[in-house]
């Protein structure tokens, strides 16, 4: 899969892409990510990318022509027309479902918004605007990196363990179960007590362990994110565990 990123902070984007799972996938050529400096598509001596808003008001607006030139150049790089995304607070909220849909595209262009926004005419070249959530950031670079990270994980070969991608709790609509590693007991400095790993995980009884994890995942989801249960794909065992948990919850209150 190919990503083209258009930004006024290419070093920030490039730097972040070098690390971790995505960085390794780029090294292996499983992913191709090309970062473009919007200033390279200006034609004036001072490489100006922004201007004051028509009608007045605070802040600056990204000028349309450098963006149009960048998109023309990027679209000419390959035969197929890429899907053009604009990061914007007005966009579709990014969810795993949106991530899955984007991962079916062979080519994505990510236009990173900045300042108060981009000239509205740029939207004539944009297929979809994406927001990563309801909080105010300074620009679209971190959102572009979030989109690339989430989408890239679904590209075959990017994550080493395909099973962990397939089973990923969010993929199935539930929160994760608790994880433990060695040692089996640690001292709790705060209380003088002992923090122990649940016995079932040390039992070697894999059927019991699987059931415990399902129950924990369901209990946490019911407690912290009950909204997720409406869209979750549950098997028969999970449906039964959930009924039991809800019945218990009823007694507790
Ligand atoms: C302070 C300016 N705001 C006035 C109402 C509007 C505004 C413009 C530009 C708010 C934030 C930004 C910069 N943010 C993004 O470009 C952005 C973003 C975000 O802030 N939150 C979540 N997702 C995204 S995607 C792009």
Please state, for a pLDDT cut of 90, what percent of the chain lies above it: 92
Residue 153 a catalytic site member: yes
Q: Is the CB of 221 under 6 A from ligand 1?
A: no
pLDDT of residue 171 exceeding 90: no
Q: Is the CB of 144 under 6 A from ligand 1?
A: no
Q: Provide DSSP, the chain.
A: -EEEEEES-HHHHHHHHTSHHHHHHHHTTSSEEEEEEGGGG--STT---EEPPTT--SS-EE-HHHHHHHHHHHHTTSSSPPEEEEEEEEEEEP-HHHHHHHHT-SEEEEEE-BTTEE-GGGGGG-SEEEE--SS--SBSHHHHHHHHHHHHTTSTTSSS-HHHHHH-HHHHT-PPPP---S-SEEEETTTTEEEE--HHHHS--HHHHHHHHHHHHHHHHHHH-HHHHTT----HHHHHHHHHHHHHHHHH-
In tens, the pLDDT along 52-99 reads: 999 999 999 999 999 999 999 999 999 999 999 999 999 999 999 999
Catalytic residue among 2, 89, 125, 176: 89
Q: What is the 90 CA–ligand 1 centroid distance (Å)?
A: 8
9 and 116 in contact (C-beta within 8 Å)? no
The alpha carbon of residue 60 and the mean position of all alpha carbons in its chain are separated, in whole angstroms, by 28
Q: Is the CB of 7 under 6 A from ligand 1?
A: no
Mean pLDDT of the chain: 96
pLDDT of residue 168 exceeding 90: no
pLDDT computed for residue 172 by the predictor: 79
Q: Is the CB of 87 under 6 A from ligand 1?
A: yes
Residue 116 a catalytic site member: yes
Please state, for a pLDDT cut of 70, what percent of the chain lies above it: 98
pLDDT computed for residue 163 by the predictor: 79
Mean pLDDT along residues 228-248: 97
Q: Is the CB of 140 under 6 A from ligand 1?
A: yes
In tens, the pLDDT along 113-148 reads: 988 999 999 999 999 999 999 999 999 999 999 999
Q: What is the 141 CA–ligand 1 centroid distance (Å)?
A: 11
C-alpha span between 34 and 5 (Å, rounded) = 6
């Amino acid at each position: 899969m190919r990503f083209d990123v258009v930004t006024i902070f290419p070093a920030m984007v490039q730097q972040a892409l070098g690390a971790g799972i995505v960085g390794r996938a780029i090294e292996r050529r499983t992913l191709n990510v090309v970062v473009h400096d919007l200033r390279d598509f200006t034609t004036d001596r001072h490489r100006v990318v922004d201007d004051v808003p028509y009608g007045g008001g605070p802040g600056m607006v990204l000028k349309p022509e450098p963006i149009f030139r960048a998109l023309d150049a990027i679209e000419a790089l390959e035969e197929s027309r890429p899907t053009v995304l604009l990061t914007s607070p007005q966009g579709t909220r990014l969810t795993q479902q949106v991530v899955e849909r984007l991962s079916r595209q062979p080519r994505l262009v990510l236009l990173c918004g900045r300042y108060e926004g981009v000239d509205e005419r740029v939207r004539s070249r944009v297929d979809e605007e994406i927001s990563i959530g309801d909080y105010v950031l300074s620009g679209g670079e971190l959102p572009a990196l979030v989109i690339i990270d989430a989408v890239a994980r679904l590209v075959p070969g990017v994550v080493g363990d395909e099973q962990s991608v397939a089973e990923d709790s969010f993929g199935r609509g539930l929160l994760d179960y608790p994880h433990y590693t060695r040692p089996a007991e640690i001292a709790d400095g705060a209380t003088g007590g002992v923090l122990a790993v649940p016995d079932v995980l040390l039992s070697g009884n894999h059927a019991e362990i699987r059931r415990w994890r399902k129950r924990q995942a369901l209990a946490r989801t019911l407690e912290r994110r009950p909204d997720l249960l409406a869209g979750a794909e549950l098997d028969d065992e999970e449906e039964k565990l959930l009924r039991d948990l809800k019945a218990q919850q009823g007694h507790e209150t």
